[in-house]
């Protein structure tokens, strides 16, 4: 990492209290755990960005109301630390800040959720009192106001194009939850309404990734997959024939691997990466810990070169059905963004 985050979790929590977020942060759960609890049950992939931590990481003092150019400059700097790839908003930030008054330059956190039914971006505001101001802005921009306070503000592709050509389609429809201090956005109404039901406690949330989310701690950024999605997206099946053959030989030498029930790769506040993989039982996890540690220390077919070119494996462990691999990235390597798309040999099933 170019510049490690100097602020520990305790200080981040204190900052949250100062921003009036103590209710959202209540209990022993991490910020990531509480955000993931807002994801609908059918979610397959989640992308987490702690924007407060990112701004601390790059020493960005943007104030409460930066302009779009300031936010773009901040994101350009943050890109070098590999902490922006998990966001759905980076390319929209200039217009988003100037038109909507919020962006990665002001948000507390962001959780981008993806499922077969659609994608929803859940945004934690730095101050819940921003919700009425955002409602005013949506009204002025031409969004159609819902009848209910937690209903969907309808924009659509034509309105978004008039506001600015760089805006992601995920901003077409918006829901404001003032009591929770969050904003939800999507390019479709149905998945957005489903996510609102979960946030209100009226529908089931995703649970299958709870173990890997807990093992991830309090990361700056993270990618989280259900087990089935990880086995599909990170498996060696996407590699070419020669790489698949090399992978098969390496797997035969390393030992057994089993399907995961959950997978997470998290960039921690000290700059290291924690990979967490959950399995059906402790015995399976212990077997996979040895095998996957061996795979993570050797060649990287499908990615090129060796994994040692990208990181040093600091520790591999198995506990309570969860395998953790702690990785120290080589300076200049983008481990989180590069290894959350397949093929990744040590994450194969």
Q: What is the pLDDT of residues 285-337, one digit of tens each?
A: 999 999 999 999 999 999 999 999 999 999 999 999 999 999 999 999 999 99
Q: Determine what percent of the chain is predicted with pLDDT higher than 70.
A: 92
Return the number of other C-beta atoms located less than 10 Å from residue 120's C-beta: 31
Mean pLDDT of the chain: 91
Handedness of CA 89, 93, 95, 97 (dihedral sign): positive
Cβ atoms within 10 Å of 46's Cβ, excluding its own: 26
Tens digit of each residue's pLDDT (9 = 90 or more) over 89-143 = 999 999 999 999 999 999 999 999 999 999 999 999 978 889 999 999 999 999 9
Q: What is the pLDDT of residues 32-60, one digit of tens each?
A: 999 999 999 999 999 999 999 999 999 99
Q: What's the confidence (pLDDT) of residue 127?
A: 84
pLDDT-derived band at 167, boundaries 50, 70, 90: very high
Tokens read off for 281: 């039982």
Sorting pLDDT into bands at 50, 70 and 90, what band is 226?
A: very high
CA-to-CA dists, residue 291 to 83, 106, 143, 251, 346, angstroms: 29, 42, 53, 8, 8
In terms of pLDDT, which residue wins out, 16 or 200?
200
Are 311 and 329 contacting, i.e. CB atoms less than 8 angstroms apart? yes
Q: If you write DSSP's letter for every residue of 69-111 in order, what string do you get?
A: HHHHHHHHHHHTTT-STT-S-GGGHHHHHHHHS-STTT-SEEE
DSSP-derived pairing of the beta strands 45-49 and 221-226: antiparallel
Q: Average pLDDT for residues 231-237, to the nearest whole number?
A: 91
CA distance 119 to 116: 8
- CB 170 within 8 Å of CB 186: yes
Mean pLDDT of 153-175: 97
pLDDT of residue 27: 62
Residues 274-284 have pLDDT tens digits of 999 999 999 99
Q: Where are the domains of the chain?
A: 35-199, 210-347
> To the nearest whole percent, how much of the chain has pLDDT over 90?
86
Tell whether pTM > 0.75.
yes
Contact 31, 213 (CB under 8 A): no
Close Cβ partners of 158 (under 8 Å, ≥ 6 residues apart): none
């Amino acid at each position: 990492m170019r510049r490690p985050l100097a602020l520990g979790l305790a200080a981040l929590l204190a900052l949250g209290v100062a921003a009036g977020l103590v209710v959202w942060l209540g209990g022993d759960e991490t910020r990531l755990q509480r955000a993931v609890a807002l994801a609908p049950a059918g979610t397959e992939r989640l992308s987490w960005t702690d924007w407060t931590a990112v701004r601390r990481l790059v020493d960005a003092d943007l104030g409460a109301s930066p302009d779009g150019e300031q936010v773009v400059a901040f994101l350009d700097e943050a890109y070098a630390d590999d902490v922006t790839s998990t966001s759905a908003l980076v390319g929209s930030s200039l217009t988003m800040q100037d038109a909507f008054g919020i962006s990665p330059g002001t948000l507390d956190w962001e959780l981008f959720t993806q499922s077969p039914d659609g994608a929803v971006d859940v945004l934690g505001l730095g101050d819940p009192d921003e919700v009425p101001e955002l409602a005013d802005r949506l009204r002025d921009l031409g969004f159609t106001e819902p009848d209910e306070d937690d209903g969907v503000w309808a924009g659509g592709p034509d309105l978004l194009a008039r506001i600015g050509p760089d805006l992601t389609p995920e901003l077409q429809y918006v829901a404001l939850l003032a009591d929770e201090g969050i904003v939800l956005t999507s390019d479709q109404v149905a998945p957005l309404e489903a996510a609102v039901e979960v946030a209100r406690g009226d529908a089931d949330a995703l649970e299958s990734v709870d173990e890997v989310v807990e093992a991830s701690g309090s990361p700056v950024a993270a990618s989280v997959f259900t087990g089935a999605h990880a086995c599909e997206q990170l498996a060696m099946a996407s590699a070419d024939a020669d790489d698949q053959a090399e992978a098969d030989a390496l797997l035969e030498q390393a030992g057994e691997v089993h399907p995961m029930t959950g997978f997470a790769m998290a960039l921690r506040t000290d700059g290291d990466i924690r990979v967490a993989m959950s399995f059906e039982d402790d015995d399976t996890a212990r077997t996979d810990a040895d095998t996957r540690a061996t795979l993570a220390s050797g060649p990287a077919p499908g990615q090129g070169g060796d994994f040692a070119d990208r990181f040093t494996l600091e520790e591999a462990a198995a506990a309570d059905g969860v395998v953790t691999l702690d990785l120290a990235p080589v300076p200049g390597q983008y481990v989180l963004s590069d290894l959350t798309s397949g093929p990744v040999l040590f994450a194969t099933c």
